[in-house]
Amino acid sequence: MGDNNESYNEDELEAPAWLNSEFFADVLSKHENTSELNVNHVKISPASAKGDHYASVMFRGAVTYTCRNQTFTKSLIVKTMPEQEGHKKDMLGESRIFETEIGMYSEMLPKFEKILRAAGDNTVLHVPCLFYSLKPRKVMVFEDLVPQGYYVLRDRSMNIEELKCALSKLAKWHAVSFKLLKEDEVQFASFKDGLMEIPNFTEDPYIKNGIDLFIRLLDKVPELKQFKPYFEKMRSSHLKELENVLSEYRLDRKPNTYYVLSHGDFHLRNMMLKNNETTGAFEDCMLLDFQISNVCPFTVDVIYSFYMLMDEKQRQNHKDELLYFYFTTFTSTLQKIGCKGELPHIVEFRRQLFNHRHYEIFLVTTFLPMIFAMRGNFCDLGEVIQKEDARWRCYNQPEYIEDIKRILSEFLHQGYFEDSMQ
């Protein structure tokens, strides 16, 4: 691999010893269904930029190989668990994120696409996984999308057309899982691990102390001091309220709530976009990273998209339009695939968004500062997660503070704080 480069995650600068010609020969032999395959050359490099992800380690392998008397070159993406000692390995080492993602790629997403195809919808929900294994190590291998013209959007927000493409795919995925869940919930039994099921998730300082830093900010900014009492009241219970939303399907299922198999981490860096080679017009987005997909209220992915996918101007000017687009795509897909019974209603959808407001409050107080930092290349993602002083700098970004002024006024007017003052 090349010299140390500050553009990449530190744990992706040196490939593990097992990531070698023999590994790729085994992967490609199984994929090509032949034993007559020889790897001639492999070049390993980091597969993503610093800050694109945290819950895995990713490498790009440019592989030249001979098969059936022909020579080929293929670019592959290898996704594996962190091996370097440190916070990332400590936080994720005992989690089931790879088991979940393997199940999504090998079972659920192909099934969802098959149901859509049968209804005349050719939407592609995932890139094929060429190889996966849990032992002797957790690893997945995909064909690289970059040579096909896909790219990660890093220098701007998505535009409305791109947002609608992403939300359309999410809505169709949600619709198929909603139907299947009603018919036979047993097939989703292994998808029970969301954020709250990551070992020690709520004890991690980044999660546990987020509301403390937020209250500190409220105390510092004169225009925000009026909101401090609300957050002081919810300080001791906000993580329990978070669990009540994210794990509702498993802990306290509600009879009228719309449950689906969620993406779980539906943000900008977990998708790739593609433009037409000739015209430059937007063509497609590909959803990625299904490590915390689990059965939960469908509002979870939608609320997440408010802050992790949309920017502040889009939330202010287009949120209702995009919500309506998502919901009508969801219900029209249910009709198309033959879902029986009464269809979900948009008024009930709005009610459930309100009922799950504590998840939104958590995102605003804990995740949103980091998102602003990522957009502006303000600081390193690993630093933000591990160091309180880096997190505090994120809270003090002027753009975040201005957004919070508007968000908290909306929360107040929508009744989000009523239960915190009882």
pLDDT for 3 equals 46
- CB within 8 A of 422, min separation 6: which ones? none
Secondary structure class of 155 (helix, strand, coil) = coil
**Residues 100, 69 share a domain:** no
State how far the Cα of 406 lies from the Cα of 393, in Å rounded to an integer: 20
Q: Render pLDDT for 336-355 as a digit per residue (tens, 0 to 9).
A: 999 999 999 999 999 999 99
Residue 87 lies in a domain: no
pLDDT for 105 equals 96
**Residues 326, 233 share a domain:** yes
Residue 334 lies in a domain: yes
Q: Render pLDDT for 141-192 as a digit per residue (tens, 0 to 9).
A: 999 999 999 999 988 999 999 999 999 999 999 999 999 999 999 999 999 9
Beta bridge partners of 286: 272
pLDDT for 86 equals 55
> What is the amino acid identity at position 197?
E
Domain count, the chain: 2
> What is the DSSP secondary-structure string of 329-383?
HHHHHHHHTT--SPPP-HHHHHHHHHHTHHHHHHIIIIIHHHHHHHHTT-S-HHH
**Residue 55 clears pLDDT 70, i.e. is over it:** no
Secondary structure class of 150 (helix, strand, coil) = strand
**Mean pLDDT of the residues in the chain:** 90
Residue 268 lies in a domain: yes
41, burial (CB in 10 Å: exposed 0-12, middle 13-18, buried 19+): exposed
- CB within 8 A of 104, min separation 6: which ones? 126, 191, 290, 293
Residue 142 lies in a domain: no
pTM confidence score: 0.91
Residue 266 lies in a domain: yes
Q: Is residue 158 within 8 Å of residue 268, measured between CB atoms?
A: yes
Which stretch of DSSP H or E encloses residue 220? helix 210-220
**Residues 279, 198 share a domain:** yes
**Residues 115, 39 share a domain:** no
**Residue 298 clears pLDDT 70, i.e. is over it:** yes
361, burial (CB in 10 Å: exposed 0-12, middle 13-18, buried 19+): buried
- Tell me the HSE value of 419 on the side-chain side, using a 13 A CA sphere: 12
Within 10 angstroms of residue 185's Cβ, the number of other Cβ atoms is: 12
User: What is the CATH classification number for the domain harbouring 399?
Assistant: 3.90.1200
> What is the amino acid identity at position 329?
T
Percent residues over pLDDT 90 in the chain? 76
**Residues 272, 348 share a domain:** yes
| DSSP character at residue 47 | S
State how far the Cα of 8 lies from the Cα of 60, in Å rounded to an integer: 12
Instruction: Indicate the pLDDT class of residue 281, thresholds 50, 70 and 90.
Output: very high
> What's the whole-number mean pLDDT along residues 223-230?
97
Q: In terms of residue numbers, what domain contains 58? A: 10-81
**Residues 123, 20 share a domain:** no
**Residues 185, 41 share a domain:** no
Any idea which of 88-92, 124-128, 164-168, 296-300 has the lowest mean pLDDT?
A: 88-92
pLDDT for 419 equals 76
Residue 134 lies in a domain: no
pLDDT for 378 equals 64
**Residues 45, 116 share a domain:** no
Strand order in the sheet with 70-80: 37-46, 57-67, 70-80, 139-143, 129-133
| Nearest partner of 268 among 388, 395, 370, 386, judged by Cα | 370
Residue 90 lies in a domain: no
Q: Render pLDDT for 95-132 as a digit per residue (tens, 0 to 9).
A: 889 999 999 999 999 999 999 999 999 999 999 999 99
> What is the DSSP secondary-structure string of 66-135?
EETTEEEEEEEEEEE---SSSHHHHHHTT--HHHHHHHIIIIIHHHHHHHHHHTT------PPEEEEE-S
**Residues 318, 218 share a domain:** yes
**Residues 55, 197 share a domain:** no
Residue 193 lies in a domain: yes
**Residues 178, 231 share a domain:** yes
**Residue 43 clears pLDDT 70, i.e. is over it:** yes
**Residue 358 clears pLDDT 70, i.e. is over it:** yes
State how far the Cα of 211 lies from the Cα of 364, in Å rounded to an integer: 10
> What is the DSSP secondary-structure string of 267-297?
-GGGEEEEE-TTT--EEEEEE---TT--EEE
State how far the Cα of 120 lies from the Cα of 102, in Å rounded to an integer: 27
**Residues 72, 160 share a domain:** no
Instruction: Indicate the pLDDT class of residue 1, thresholds 50, 70 and 90.
Output: very low
> What is the amino acid identity at position 150?
Y
Any idea which of 14-18, 168-172, 179-183, 210-214 has the lowest mean pLDDT?
A: 14-18
